[in-house]
A and B are shown apart, each in its own frame.
Chain A
Amino acid sequence: MSDSIDLTYVRTEMLPEQTPPTNAIGAVRWVRENLFNGILNSILTILSILAVIWIVMAIGPWLMNSIWNSDSLSQCREILTAAGSVNHEGTHGACWGVIKERWPQLLFGFYPSELYWRPTVTFVMMCIAIAPILFPSVPRKVLWFSAAYPFLAVFMLWGGSIWVTITAALGFFLGFAALTGLAGFGTLVATTGAILIPILYWLFGWTPLSDGLTNIMPWGIEPVTTSDFGGFMLSIIIGLSGIVLSLPLGILFALGRQSNMVLIKTVSVVFIEFIRGVPLITLLFTASLLLNYFLPPGTNFDLVLRVIIMVTLFATAYMAEVIRGGLAALPRGQYEAADALGLDYWKAQRLIIMPQALKISIPGIVNTFIGLFKDTTLVVFIGLMDPIGLASAIRANSAWQGIYWELFIFIGAVFWIFCFSMSRYSMHLERRLKTDHK
């Protein structure tokens, strides 16, 4: 029986491999899987494609017809009409001439044009100063330049006698000298001295000393008043000062809110909740309208400085909350381990708690920085010439009356670049500092 089985149909060799059907490979497969894998997704895809087409149709020709060389809107429109770039609503094309013509103004505001080199040099120095903070591969010695940078920047931008800056910086040296010189009398005496001596110096010694030195050696550069500051320079000045100052203050208030001392805790909570409860614009108005009430009669200090203080206080409250979140997320055992090692409060904070808590709160901290930088635009409401204020000023000129989109796009793009790179850097930093197992 078994012999009779006919084995002629049994294949002895494998069939050659066939190529898969065309709709299951390559682009077709990708499109099927990612764009049309269901009715809802197909509808969404078609709607999205229509939206993209609509946006490109609306903006594309306008961008394609861009005119870069024109001194006024009317001239730009003439060029556009001559080129035939018109639709039913009139000329259709972007007039970027406004950016080209007003470029220095958008960057520096009404800063004297022969002194443009000063903010430019300050900006380049800023890049050098923040490089060692951002990237560990930069030599550590550059950090000394970073420490000196705030004084350099103030001197370069505000100008005036060089001695004002140098004698102001002297206060910090006095503080440092007190800290090391008085170390023999105990930590408490040294710390008190390091805080009190510079404050006393700035209150009573600074002005006479700088005036005296200026009289003897009148070295300096031309002073510029802050009412001439403007454009992205102003945004960066306010934003960067706020960023640099709000982080340490925020740490202090976050610690204050966690403190066991009732009074310290109450003060911190009231400060944080008050600042977070009111809009920044009311604080800015306080700076411009009310600060004269609270200060001794006759004092009048720089509006930009007042704005920096208010923006810093505003960011500090948010920063404190972000850092408090980081502190709360830290396991209890870390605090107990620091205590078990016999570390005192500040040593425990500096060596154990803060490095971990700050690492946890990096995304929140950078978000606060980004928010602060965007909020610098609000200074337009108290009459400072930030980019948005300049946009209105440029429109007020008859040459560029009625120009909106080009200015908005340019200002928005610059802010976007700054904020987006900040958020990307925070992601990079998170990855770099990640120590847990993947």
Chain B
Amino acid sequence: MAMDSGAPKESFRLSMLLYDSRYRSYTIQIFVLFCLMLGAAWLVDNTIKNLAALGKDFSFSFLWNVSGYDISQRPIEYTSTSTHARAAIVGLTNTIILAVMGCVTATVLGVLAGVLRLSTNWIVARLMTIYIETFRNIPALLWILVFGAVMAEAMPAPRDFRGADATASMSLFDSVAITNRGVYVPGPLFDRSLGSVDLGFISPSLDALAFIVVVILSIWANKRLVNHATAVQNATGIRPVTWWKSILTLFVPAILLLLALGFHLEYPALRGFNFSGGIQLRSSLIAMWLGLSVYTAAFIAENVRAGIMAISTGQSEAAAALGMQPGKTMRLVILPQAMRVIIPPLISQYLNLTKNTSLGLAVGYMDLRSTLGGITINQTGRELEGMMLMMLIYLVLSLLISSAMNVYNNRVKLKER
């Protein structure tokens, strides 16, 4: 049509690749791609040359060789005749145990400290400020070393518990022994144990599995019960009394199972030069756990405080106008809204804590970095493969945590229409 001929019809010229913003982005991208490929080729070429010069190859077969070293903390079965792969998995399990323990404690401490820092109580608020500012501004590594030194230097040795003139005694009704070798706590024992199932790779205890299954089923049943109560309330306006039913569904099946299995606690006792029986939480675990928890809790406390302060005062005033008490206002009005602000930084604190578990080397905690990234690399000389594998595992771990927390974040996010 005649209208179309209004715009001058431009033919493509080479200079448009540089000066026309429609094409320039392609030029830049192709240039960057070229540089990247050149750089990658250079790195790979160097690596191949260096490996050849050292007479090494690139293979992960070392993972199936006998490791030949011991690991102090073994959540799954492991001996020095196990493979390097198994050592890596023991290390990974230790990393995850520490990360989970640390995240739980840090959250509890952090929320507590964050809320208390906003307290009207002068001395409590000041103490929390001092705690947060002290722990946030001193490196995590130093805190881990401090707690490690506290465990090693300030705690009594097992021999101090012996004899009539013992200088140390067990705490919590003679059930917990805090020594410089670690903390001994009572452990579960089953008289009529179901044994364990051998999966070849790991052999989990059937007692623990049965207990976990029963607890999950009870929680699910309780959720059904509560949902039913809510449905009845929505339909009739009267909420049926559920608290005793909840308690029954939550606790009775688990208690029955424990009775059936003949559950009892085994208390640690001093035998010879050391405590035996019960569960030993090694000094290294305690130092890492406490160090990382109190360090990360200081950051979480600041996130919690920021989240609470982000909620406008109108919300708490409205709650007060409805006649709510301060505790209820916090629990029902402020915190649910503050959670939305708190969760994204909380995710990154969990990630930081998980990554900081790699400082375990400082106190001799056998995490992934100490097993796969430490002794295995030193023994096999496979730095390249070992480091790549370790980085990959940490990367997957981080991505798993952030995606799990993002799912939760999306669930509690304000649904705006």
Contacts and interface: CB of A to CB of B under 8 A. Distances in A.
Contacts of B50: 292-294, 297
Interface of B: 18, 25, 28-29, 32-33, 36, 43, 46-47, 49-51, 53, 116, 119-124, 127, 133-134, 136-142, 145-146, 149, 153, 351, 355-356, 358-359, 361-362, 369, 373, 377, 383-384, 387, 390-391, 394-395, 398-399
A405 B145 CA distance: 10
B141 A378 contact: yes
Contacts of B124: 41, 44-45, 48
Contact of B49 (A260, A278, A297, A419): A297
Given A281-B359, A282-B390, A294-B47, A374 B395 contact: no
A260 B25 contact: yes
B46 A261 contact: no
Contacts of A412: 138, 142, 146
A411 B142 contact: yes
Nearest to B53: A297
B138 to A, nearest CB: 5
B18 A188 contact: yes
A260 B28 CA distance: 12
A415 B123 contact: no
B46 A377 contact: no
B38 to A, nearest CB: 14
Nearest to B390: A282
B335 to A, nearest CB: 17
A274 B140 CA distance: 22
A423 interface: yes
A63 interface: no
A375 B133 CA distance: 17
Given A35-B123, A41-B121, A282-B391, A388 B46 contact: no
B113 to A, nearest CB: 13
A277 interface: yes
A94 interface: no
A124 B165 CA distance: 59
Given A261-B28, A277-B399, A292-B50, A420 B133 contact: yes
B21 to A, nearest CB: 9
B361 A274 contact: no
B373 A388 contact: no
A183 interface: no
B369 A281 contact: yes
A52 B127 contact: yes
B137 A279 contact: no
Contacts of A276: 351, 398
A201 interface: no
Contacts of A35: 121-123
Given A188-B18, A290-B387, A377-B142, A282 B46 contact: no
A402 B34 CA distance: 58
Nearest to B394: A278
B120 A415 contact: no
A285 interface: yes
A282 B370 CA distance: 11
A423 B134 CA distance: 12
Contacts of B369: 279, 281-282
Interface string A273-291: 1101111111001100110
Contacts, number: 143
Interface of A: 34-35, 37, 41, 44-45, 48-49, 51-52, 188, 260-264, 267, 273-274, 276-282, 285-286, 289-290, 292-297, 370, 374-375, 377-378, 380-381, 388, 391, 402, 404-405, 408, 411-412, 415-416, 419-420, 423
The 4 closest A-B pairs by CB, nearest first: A419-B137, A277-B398, A279-B355, A374-B139
Given A35-B121, A45-B123, 19 more contacts: A34-B120, A34-B121, A37-B120, A41-B124, A45-B121, A52-B127, A264-B28, A264-B32, A277-B398, A278-B391, A286-B387, A293-B46, A294-B46, A297-B46, A374-B140, A377-B141, A378-B359, A408-B146, A412-B138
Nearest to B360: A281
A285 B348 CA distance: 23
Contact of A293 (B358, B384, B391): B384
Contacts of B138: 374, 412, 415-416, 419
Contact of B137 (A34, A263, A377, A415): A415
A185 to B, nearest CB: 13
Nearest to A321: B348
23 contacts: A34-B122, A45-B123, A48-B127, A188-B18, A263-B29, A267-B32, A274-B395, A277-B395, A279-B394, A281-B359, A282-B387, A282-B391, A285-B373, A293-B383, A295-B46, A296-B46, A297-B46, A297-B53, A388-B141, A388-B142, A391-B145, A404-B153, A408-B145
Contacts of A297: 46, 49-50, 53
A36 B377 CA distance: 60
Nearest to A263: B29
A261 B394 contact: no
Contacts of A374: 137-140
